Amino acid sequence: MMKVACWKDSTGSPAGTFVAGDEYSWCHYNDGITGSQKFNYLLQGSANANSYVRVNADATTQQAGFGGGVSGTDKSISAAMQTAKAAAQVNLWFADWVSTALTEDLTLTGNETNKAAEVTADTWKTRTIGAAEATETTKTNLYTAAQKEKAAAERWKAAATAEAADALADLVRARTLLADLTAEIAPLARDESAAQTAYDEAVAAQAVRVAATAELGDLAVAANAAAVPPVVAAAATGARAVLDAAAATKASVEAQQAFHDARADWAADNLAPVATELADLKAHQARLDLEVAAAETKFDNARKACKVAAFEGAQEAREKAVA
């Protein structure tokens, strides 16, 4: 309750006294500072026109005027009351309709209440007959106008029927013409498409050639002072310049290779006699190596034969000694 009250805790002096600063800003209705008031405005006394107690009392007073039911204490709107209200509304609508219809008839026949009091019965009869004759004339005129409108509508219908027939004939002719045009246009369209394709291909090829020519560039021009007018040297451009540079590089590499080949040939020519002598010496060494190997083989064989002869001599000496 304290959290939703119109007043905060008192800050006045003496203690318990409320001042203007103690009122919540969102609370707009109160009975003023009373010193001990600390309740929400909906719970305040009936002296406050916006309090719950005052509103409830006013509602009770107003409700007392809606007595009903058997005992007179039913203060709600019953189903019978709703039905009665609906029936009264329907009767009111019907009465309005009847009143409107009678007013229209009164306008057509004349409103006697607006006539002078001295009008006699014969005068009224004459006027009534005149009004009836005028009404008849009006109806006749309306009928004649309706007949004319009917005739005009029939003429319009006949014209519209004829136009529809003409439109149908035009449609048949248009379809025939469309078929003829389609038969003629299709080959022309194919030829035009083929020609357009060929043209596009030629344009694309020309663009490729132009681009290739631009990338290829111009040839180098050598200087010629004797020409008239003298020709000034001009370097190649584009791919031709690259080709010229590559050709110059190739020539330089070939010249260097020829120089090195010539040095190699010169060295080979100078080394040829020594190489021949070296080869002969290597061959002589190989022969000597073979002779040494053969001598060592013979030496080994002789050593083995010596050992055999010494063994046989020792055996023979031992046998003689034994004998």
Nearest to 37 by CA among 85, 1, 76, 90: 1
CB-based contacts of 29: which residues, under 8 Å, 6+ apart?
6, 41, 48, 50, 51
- When mean pLDDT is compared across 99-113, 133-147, 157-171, 202-216, the lowest value belongs to 99-113
- Residue given tokens 């020829």 in the structure block: 258
Question: pLDDT digit string (tens) for 261-289?
Answer: 999 999 888 888 888 888 899 999 999 99
Torsion of CA 39, 42, 43, 44, to 10 degrees: 80
Range with the poorest average pLDDT among 30-34, 154-158, 236-240 = 30-34
Side chain identity, residue 265: D
- The whole-number average pLDDT for the span 19-33 is 58
pLDDT at 27 over 70: no
Give per-residue pLDDT as tens, 72-91. Answer: 455 566 677 778 888 888 88
Number of neighbours of residue 27 by Cβ within 10 angstroms: 13
Four-point Cα dihedral 118, 121, 125, 130, nearest 10: -10
Together in a domain, 250 and 305 = yes
Q: Does residue 105 lie within any of the structural domains? A: no
Residue 266 lies in a domain: yes
Q: Is the pLDDT of residue 38 over 70?
A: no
Q: How confident is the model at residue 61 (pLDDT cuts 50, 70, 90)?
A: confident
8 closest CA partner among 24, 20, 26, 19: 24
Q: Domain range holding 156?
A: 119-211
SS3 sequence of 10-56: CCCCCCCCCCHHHECCCCCCCCCCCCCCCCCHHHCCCCCCCCHHHHH
- Mark which of 33, 63, 93 sits at the end of a domain: 63
What is the Cα–Cα distance from 213 to 237, expressed in whole angstroms? 11
Co-location of 180 and 249 in the same domain = no
* CA dist., res. 293 & res. 301, Å (int): 12
What is residue 253's predicted lDDT score, i.e. its pLDDT?
95
Residue 108 is encoded by which pair of tokens? 């057509």
**Is residue 16, in this structure, part of any structural domain at all?**
yes
CA–CA gap between residue 170 and residue 164 (Å, rounded): 10
What is the pLDDT at residue 29? Answer: 45
Residue 297 within any structural domain of the chain: yes
Q: Which residue has the higher pLDDT, 32 or 151?
A: 151
Same domain, 271 and 312: yes
Q: pTM of the full predicted structure?
A: 0.25
Contact assessment for residue 17 and residue 35, using Cβ atoms and an 8 Å cutoff: yes
CB atoms closer than 10 angstroms to residue 22: 17
> What pLDDT shows up at residue 137?
78
Same domain? 204 vs 250: no
The mean pLDDT value of the chain amounts to 77
Residue 101 falls inside a structural domain: no
The total of structural domains in the chain comes to 3
| Assigned domain for 200 exists | yes
Q: How far apart are the first and last CA of the chain?
A: 160
Cα separation values, 105 from 37, 98, 132, 272, 315, Å: 73, 11, 12, 154, 188
Alpha-carbon distance of 135 to 110, in angstroms, equals: 12
Whether 97 maps to a domain, the answer reads no
CA dist 323 and 312 (Å) reads 16
Chain length of the chain: 323
CA 79 to chain CA centroid, nearest Å = 60
Picking from 46, 63, 80, the residue at the C-terminal end of a domain is: 63
| Domain annotation covers residue 161 | yes
Q: How many whole angstroms separate alpha carbon 41 and alpha carbon 43?
A: 5
Query: Looking at residue 272, what is its pLDDT?
Result: 84
List pLDDT tens digits, range 122-180.
555 566 666 666 777 777 877 787 788 888 888 888 888 888 888 888 888 888 888 88
Instruction: Quote the percentage of the chain above a pLDDT of 70.
Output: 71
Claim to verify: residue 176 and residue 250 sit in the same structural domain: no
Same domain, yes or no, for 127 and 207? Answer: yes
Under DSSP, the state recorded for 219 is: -
* 101 or 1, which is more confident: 101
What is the C-alpha to C-alpha distance for residues 157 and 214, in angstroms, rounded to an integer? 77
Assess whether 205 and 130 both reside in one domain.
Answer: yes
pLDDT given at position 276: 87
